[in-house]
Amino acid sequence: MSGPLSHLKVLDLSRILAGPFAGQILADLGADVIKVERPESGDDTRSWGPPFLPAADGGQGDAGYFLACNRGKRSVCADLSTEDGQALVKALAARSDIVIENYRVGGLAKFGLDYASLKEIKSDLVYCSITGFGQDGPRAQQSAYDFMIQAMGGLMSVTGEADGFPGAGPQKVGVPIVDLMTGMYSVIAILAAIARRDQTGDGDYIDIGMLDVMAGSLCNQAQNYFVSGKPPKRSGNRHPNIQPQDVFPCKDGHVVIVVGNDGQYAKFCEAIGRPDLIDDPKYRTNGDRVTHLETLFPEIIAALETDTMAGWVARLEEVGVPCAPINTVPDLLADPQAVHRGFEVKIDHPASGPLSLLASPMRFANAPVEIRRHPPSLGEHDEEIRAELSL
């Protein structure tokens, strides 16, 4: 059975993560995604290791980073500075529905591969440009990476332990979250443009900036500032608006507890043997608990120190209070829910044998998502694609 986007063709001129991740999502959904790469070196992330995938012949394969965001695609090599490379890209654009690129602003215009040029070849093309700061403004020509956008975009100002705690200081998120969100926003915009094209027959040009995405993802933290006028601060694992929500120590480790409303709070207090905290006027409502957090937390910590992590998880789950152990990646993949939902997918890689990949989180009843292709070797489909184009 074909995926829901099996009727679409995508020309992926991007590299690193945000653009390739967008292309991978479209490939997961069934689109035919052709990744154009530099001859010899290819996408930068092919060498972003270790770890590297061991090759069957004992050599070194691609880095795990590349494998994470390029499955489902076909790879063809082209030097965009040459007439041959430009001709290949234009031929691909002529039969594509979507183009994704993340060159510097104006970088593809000198090769005749910008939106204005390719629109002359395919008038209904949906062309998505991904940059650090968008196509205009004083920073438009600057390069950007996820880490610096996390810093500039305010995320690191609200991530990390609060001042006064051991190890306090700004922290980045443990995955390249801005790149990933930029890829997802790009896909949303692309599919919206495709839906509009189906109604009007017109293509579109999409301008996605990583800093724009980061700002748009600050969500409640930015809105708290708009409402209060006070800049949000780092609070470690504590939620700024709902309490108790934090990482709490117990007898043999730590447990995450996420009390989301007053009803859950009452169940939580009963479960930890402190029903007296339910009607205490300092803690009766969520607002009260947020205001008096510094006196509430020592009471909770003292109660939790009497049992183990597994004991508290079992007890709190039984009464419906959201909680969780802090899993490692192997712990996650071994969780019964993860096994049931199939988080780990195995696919054959011609150069390395069986390869484990993360499954797509999207589930469809009538057009299931499937990983149809392994992450391609550099230029693996050169002959195939050039034959299709009669080049």
pLDDT of res. 59? 87
What is 9-217+342-389's CATH number, 3.40.50.10540, 3.40.50.720, 3.40.50.150, 1.10.3720.10?
A: 3.40.50.10540
What local confidence, expressed as pLDDT, does residue 368 receive?
86
Closest CA to 20 of 50, 1, 42: 42
Query: What is the model's pLDDT at position 45?
Result: 97
pTM over 0.85: yes
pLDDT at 1: 53
Give the integer Cα–Cα distance in Å for 215 and 193.
Answer: 22
pLDDT value for 57: 82
Is there a contact between 93 and 34 (Cβ–Cβ < 8 Å)?
no
H or E stretch at 151: helix 146-152
Domains of the chain, residue spans: 9-217+342-389, 245-326
Query: Mean pLDDT by 10-residue block, N- to C-terminus, for the chain (391 residues)?
Result: 90 98 98 97 96 89 97 98 98 98 97 98 98 98 97 97 87 97 98 98 98 97 97 92 94 94 97 96 96 95 94 95 95 96 95 93 92 95 96 83
**pLDDT given for residue 39 in this prediction:** 97
**Catalytic residue at 179?**
yes
What residue has token string 């510094």? 294
Q: Are 80 and 14 in contact (CB under 8 A)?
A: no
d(CA 101, CA 167): 39
How far is the C-alpha of 215 from the C-alpha of 283, rounded, in Å? Answer: 33
As a whole number of angstroms, the distance between CA 324 and CA 328 comes to: 12
Catalytic residue among 28, 179, 212, 246: 179
CATH number of 245-326: 3.30.1540.10
pLDDT at 158: 96
Those residues whose C-beta lies under 8 Å from the C-beta of residue 50, and which sit 6 or more positions away, are 63
